[in-house]
Each structure stands twice: as C-alpha cells, then as structure tokens.
A = this chain, B = another copy of it.
Amino acid sequence: MSLIVMKFGGTSVANEERIRKVADRLIEHKKAGDQVIAVVSAMGKSTDDFVNLAHNINPDPPRREMDVLMSAGEQISMAILAMAVEAKGYKAMSFTGSQAGIVTDVEYSKAKIREIKADRIFYALNKGYIVIVAGFQGVTKSGDITTLGRGGSDTTAVAVAAATGADLCEIYTDVEGVYTADPRICPRAKRLDVINYEDMLELSDSGSGVLQSRSVEFARNFGVVIHCRSAFSDKPGTLVKEVSDMESAVITGIAYDNSEAKVTLRDVPDRPGIAAQLFASVASVGANVDMIVQNVSENGMTDMSFTTPLKDLPLVKDLLDKLVADLGARSYLIDKSISKISIVGAGMKTNPGIAAKMFSVLAENGINITLISTSSIRLSVVIDGSLTEKAVQCLHTAFGLDSDTVFEETQLSSEELAAKAKKGR
C-alpha cells in the first residue's frame, strides 16, 4: 500500500465532466489499494471572476480580504470533487487549508508554509476516505486565511506529500511532462523520463512553466519524488527526483523567457557604491531584478544593464529620470523586446567549453548576445526577442537533444494552447 498525493490544476477541474474524470483517477488508485490525497485548484476561470469582482468594488482591495475571497474558489472545487467521488460509491472528505493544518506566515497573497499539522488528514485516510485538500491556501497561527501566491497549489501538493511521508506526488498538468525545450517552438523537443531537482529548478527559474520553482525547491529539500504528467492522458510523464548515480547529460534542456525587459543606464560615473545605490532604488519601488551586467569601465564611465519583469517595468520607469540625475548618468534605454535563452544541465559542471559552444552556435546563426549570466549548471543569454525560436532550435540541435520524431501542435487542444499561452505571460 502506497500513499500518493495527486494534484489537479484549474483546467483539470474546469467543468463537471472533467471533475468526474478526476474522481475516476482518484478511485483507480484507491481500488489499487493506495491511500489517496488529492490537492485541487479552483475551477477554471473562477479565480479571474473573483479578481474582477474584487477590483470593481475596490481598485486596491485589502490583501487579507482578497485571500478570504480567493480561498473560496478551492473550497468550492474541493467540495464538488468530494461529491463526485461519493457519487461513484467511494468515501471522500474535503479539507480547507485551515482544516488540513497548513500553517503559513502572515504574508497575505504570497504566504509561505511554515508547518503542516496533518493529523486530520491521517485520521481521514485511516478511516478509508479519499482525502481532498484545497490547494493554494493556508491559515496563520492566529487563524487568518492566507493564499500562497503563484504556483501555490503545486507547493501545497509537495508540502502535503512531505508532511505525510507520501511515496509519490503526482502533478497533473496540461502538458505530458518536462521537455528538453518548449515543443511549440521546438518541434524536435523530447519528453524527459526523469530529471534531477537541480536541473528542474534551473529550468523553472529560466521560464519553463511546467512546474513552479518554489514547489521543486520544496520537493528537493524534503526528498519528495514528483511525477509531472498530463491530466488528459494516461501516458507516463517526467519523474523529478534525486538522480545521483546517472551519467548526467551535459545539457538537460533549453528554456526561454519573453517576460522581461532590459534597462540600460548609459555612461554612469564608475565609483564605488553606484551599483548598490541603483539596485536599492529599484528594490524600493518593489520591482524585481533578474540579470545584472556592468560593462568594463572606460574613461571613468560605465554602462549598467539589468532585466526586470515586464509587469514591473511601470514601477521602474517612474524611477529612471530621477536615477539618471542622481547617478550623473547620460541617459537610459529600455528594450521591451528581449528574450532570455537558458541552457541547463548538471553535466555542465564537469564539461568545460559549453559556454564557448553556446556562443559560437548563436554567432553562426547570426544571433547577437546582449547580456550573459551564469550559474554552475545554467548559462543564460539575452537576445532579440524575435529570434527566440531560431535560437532554441539551433541550440537544441547543437547540443544533441533533437528527437527522431517531430512534435505536432495538434497534440495540444486549443484550450491547452490558450492555457499555456496565458501561463507564459
């Protein structure tokens, strides 16, 4: 008998028919003798409906109340799923984040899980119930409802798996697993049977939207094995786990990210503390900074570039005129049409020359690099956004990742494509 956690996102429970299918999946495992915990997101577009309702009433809704509102979404889907399971003759019991003992800090809308008191979950499992837990939500020590923010349901699933010592955490999604590259722009991409936590983390951080890096980090820290698979088929997906003894592929996958803009400050006087001043200002308006590059100083002047999410750009823009004046810079440039291309692989550590190969492949294909950043198992470059597809494809081929078969767009439904496109934003 195994204990298995199964997580279903909003598209997997978007309507009655799909909820019944999810119920079938849970029952299948239960029949096989497993103990089953499902973690569910809110149904389809209900989250959007709530956001609209809230913003019509209050353009700047208080965050505590926003979390109260949003958490009603999973409360609905979990109850309906429990009813669907019972309709098929099996016992089910649903739990809100609070009822499931998911204790978080008090950072409304982006709370972090501190602890899971899983005794009610165990009680229900031992009584033979299929347990259904609301994803994305928790409760503070003093009893206030919180939500976990983006990717929160994945994190709930992994955290519940960790707290209950589950044998496996299945994350059902709208793609068939983790690919060597996004098959929509790289038709020769291959699905990976297995990937280690580090590579998965770097891919997630670099724009691969399959799993949120937060949940992968949680899984790594607690040794939870994730099975990332399609909610719409029975095919096996990708296992995310510690793979210490495998002969590491040099490059595991290629990710891209179109969601950032590049800001450059020209001719900044190069004196100590200037970078600190710049990024303290950017941080003070709540904008995130991803890559940071400072050119070699020339005549005491330097160019400083950084990338920031497009959604944070308005915050940064308000700041730039003042920054140029304060720092004594000449001017600033904003480039909204950039793409960050990342190659990821644990084998990179022991294979020198990967960077040189990446740069030369891009050069041979006439693709100019404007920023570079690295970690021990990742190389990222910023290029012109219009060349994204070309860059991913030529790197995919050059690093020997091409599949013999060609992925066809028709494998994705229009709904899945729309969901993916949205996720990519």
**Residue ranges of A at the interface with B (Cβ–Cβ < 8 Å):** 16, 19-20, 50, 53-54, 56-62, 64-66, 68-69, 71-72, 75-76, 78-80, 82-84, 86-87, 92-94, 96, 98-99, 120, 143-145
Contact = CB atoms under 8 A, between A and B. Distances in A.
Contacts of A79: 54, 65-66, 68-69, 72
A82 B57 CA distance: 10
B75 A71 contact: yes
B65 A94 contact: yes
A94 B144 CA distance: 10
Contact of A57 (B16, B53, B78): B16
A296 to B, nearest CB: 51
B56 A16 contact: yes
Contacts of A92: 62, 65
Given A65-B94, A92-B65, A57 B83 contact: yes
A50 to B, nearest CB: 7
Given A71-B75, A94-B68, A80 B62 contact: no
Contacts of A82: 62, 65, 68
Given A72-B72, A72-B76, A65 B86 contact: yes
Contacts of A62: 82-83, 86, 92
23 contacts: A16-B53, A16-B56, A19-B57, A54-B80, A57-B80, A57-B84, A57-B87, A58-B84, A58-B87, A65-B92, A65-B93, A65-B94, A66-B79, A68-B79, A68-B82, A68-B94, A69-B79, A69-B80, A69-B83, A71-B75, A72-B72, A96-B145, A120-B143
A78 B143 CA distance: 16
Chain A interface, DSSP helix/strand/loop, else mixed: helix
Interface centre among A16, A66, A94 (most CB of B within 10 A): A94
Contacts of A61: 83, 86
B69 A75 contact: yes
Nearest to A62: B86
Nearest to A87: B58
A94 B61 CA distance: 13
Nearest to A59: B87
Nearest to A20: B57
Nearest to A49: B76
Contact of A53 (B60, B69, B75, B80): B80
A56 B17 CA distance: 10
Nearest to A123: B142
Contacts of A59: 87
Give 6 nearest A-B pairs by CB, closest first. A69-B79, A58-B87, A58-B83, A68-B79, A72-B72, A65-B82
A103 to B, nearest CB: 14
A50 B58 CA distance: 25
Given A83-B62, A98-B98, A143-B120, A68 B57 contact: no
Contacts of A20: 57
A168 B258 CA distance: 59
Contact of A68 (B50, B60, B78): B78
A278 to B, nearest CB: 35
A62 B120 CA distance: 19
A66 to B, nearest CB: 7
A262 B145 CA distance: 50
Interface centre among A58, A78, A83 (most CB of B within 10 A): A83
A78 B145 CA distance: 13
A98 B144 CA distance: 11
A346 B60 CA distance: 53
A68 B95 CA distance: 9
Contact of A99 (B16, B66, B143): B143
A68 B71 CA distance: 12
A75 B78 contact: no
A76 B87 CA distance: 27
Given A71-B75, A143-B99, A83 B54 contact: yes
A62 B84 CA distance: 10
A92 B62 CA distance: 9
